Amino acid sequence: MSTTVAQERVYNFSPGPAVLPVSVLQQAQRDLMCLPGYGMSILEMSHRAPGFLDILAAAKHNLKELLRIPDNYKIIFLQGGSRLQFSMIPMNLLRGQSQPADYLITGSWSKMALDEAKREGLARVAWDGKSTNYDRLPTLADWQPNKDAPYTYLCSNETIQGVQFDTDFDLKSPVVADCSSDFLHRPLDVAKYGLIYACAQKNAGPAGVTAVIIREDLLARSQDNLPGYMNYTGHVKEDSLYNTPPTFAIYLMGLVLRWLKDDVGGLEKMHAFNQEKAKLLYDVIDGSGGYFKGHAQPANRSLMNVTFRLPSEDLEKKFCKEGEKRGLDGLKGHRSVGGVRASIYNAMPLEGVKQLAEFMKEFQQQNG
Ligand SMILES: *Cc1c(COP(=O)(O)O)cnc(C)c1O
């Protein structure tokens, strides 16, 4: 990337597709005409060529290392976004089961997943945060887990409401987690999960690829009469080459994984950095004497999506507009919650968050 173009970059607080590490974009730019050693662009390369098979293997290897994924789990890269997983999960794990799956409804995305599961089979609402407008999350004491449930579904980070689980639940039934908007933001105890999935475009790459990590024994539930693409077992058997995979998206996700490993130094470091960044914004909210009102209860605040309101909708509009003028882009909250949402994913630099925190304080002084 030429310096002038790099200097034009704003701080991008968009919820997704979202900010990517500059070094990743720079490498993609260098590689785009010709992937070193392979004589052609990744965009032109067969998905069965050695060049792509190397990229695929490295991405799986690095993902496995970063998350310390045990050997009895399979990694596949799919298309259709996280939305397709809302359907694929019950199609594969719920068909033929007699008990309902448990769903924790903690915000917009888990609710949508529940609606899709109901088309496929029995799903029980084990907990619902609706009565407080999805501003908090349950602890194990707040719902009655069904140990015989085919699985317990949760969304680890509700991107729209800005509430996030910070623990890995130890349940008898396999935990299925939508980690779309906080994938790789901290280490996970993968062994406590049956299935983990994430579309890449929030925290791990560009749009077009979804990573699915599934415990081997659960694959036995997928029935032969499922449509081919919808069956996890085919994707596992063909090592993500059941159909032509999104080669460029997997390549770029691979660069992000390498950045996490080599430049950041792993997920413990990433987590500490994310905590430091989020604290800057929550401190401004808490120190504003109620001018900024956080949506999430403090115990359940997201490190990824910081959601808050201002005293009026007019001030919120003004805040986003003035922010944009200062190069702080994408701050408008989701239409269902309103207000402001600052998405500060892994790749958001500390400097961007510092500038936003400064801007918030200045804005309050001038509009208080
Ligand atoms: C964005 C998002 C989705 C939907 O992802 P798509 O790739 O657009 O289908 C699902 N769950 C969560 C938590 C998200 O943030």
User: What per-residue confidence (pLDDT) applies to 336?
Assistant: 83
Q: Is 156 in the pocket of ligand 1 (CB under 6 A)?
A: no
> Model-level pTM?
0.97
Classify 26-263 by CATH class: alpha beta
Dist. CA 358 → ligand 1 center (Å):
30
Residue 211, number of CB atoms within 10 A of its CB:
27
Q: State the pLDDT at residue 2.
A: 55
Residue 231 CB–ligand 1 contact under 6 Å:
no
Identify which of 111, 199, 209, 307 to mutate to test ligand 1's pocket (most ligand atoms within 8 A of the CB): 199
Out of 60, 109, 277, 332, which one is annotated catalytic? 109
Average per-residue pLDDT in the chain? 97
pLDDT of residue 237: 98
pLDDT of residue 335: 87
Q: Ligand 1 centre from 287 Cα, in Å? A: 32
Asked if 60 is an active-site residue, the reply is: no
Is 143 an active-site residue? no
Tell me the CA–centroid distance for residue 139 and ligand 1, in Å.
Answer: 23
Taking phi over 0 as left and psi of -120 to 50 as alpha, with beta for the rest, 133 belongs to left
Binding-site residues for L-glutamate sit at: 48
Average pLDDT over residues 259-288: 98
Residue of 74, 202, 277, 332 marked catalytic: 202
The domains of the chain are located at 26-263, 266-367
Going by the annotation, the residues of the binding site for pyridoxal 5'-phosphate are: 109, 159, 178, 201, 243-244
The pLDDT tens digits for 11-48 are 999 999 999 999 999 999 999 999 999 999 999 999 99
Q: How far apart are CA 138 and CA 286, in angstroms?
A: 23
Query: Residue 132: pLDDT above 60?
Result: yes
Overall average pLDDT of the 102-106 stretch: 98
Residue nearest to atom 10 of ligand 1 (CA): 82
Instruction: From the candidates 102, 178, 182, 329, give the one annotated as an active-site residue.
Output: 178
Confirm or reject: Cβ of 179 under 6 Å from ligand 1: no
Evaluate the CA torsion angle 286, 288, 294, 297 in order and state its sign.
positive
> Which residue puts its alpha carbon closest to atom 13 of ligand 1?
180
Cβ–ligand 1 distance for 196 under 6 Å, the answer no
pLDDT tens for each residue of 75-93: 999 999 999 999 999 999 9
Q: Check whether 6 has a pLDDT greater than 80.
A: no
| Ligand 1 atom closest to 201 (CA) | 7
Q: What is the pLDDT of residues 311-326, one digit of tens each?
A: 999 999 999 999 999 9
pLDDT in tens, 352-368: 999 999 999 999 999 99
Ligand 1 probe mutation, 181, 183, 302, most atoms within 8 A of CB: 181
| 128 has catalytic annotation | no
| Confidence check: pLDDT of 147 > 80 | yes
Is residue 144 scored above 70 in pLDDT?
yes
Q: What is the fold of 266-367?
A: Aspartate Aminotransferase, domain 1 (3.90.1150)
pLDDT of residue 290: 98
**Beta carbons of 216 and 11 less than 8 angstroms apart:** no
Query: Which of 188, 176, 204 lies closest to 81 in space, CA to CA?
Result: 204
CB of 159 closer than 6 angstroms to any ligand 1 atom: yes
Range 94-107 average pLDDT: 97
Between the CA of 364 and the centroid of ligand 1 the distance, in Å, is 33
Q: Taking Cα atoms as reference points, which of 152, 148, 151 lies closest to residue 127?
A: 152
pLDDT, position 3:
58
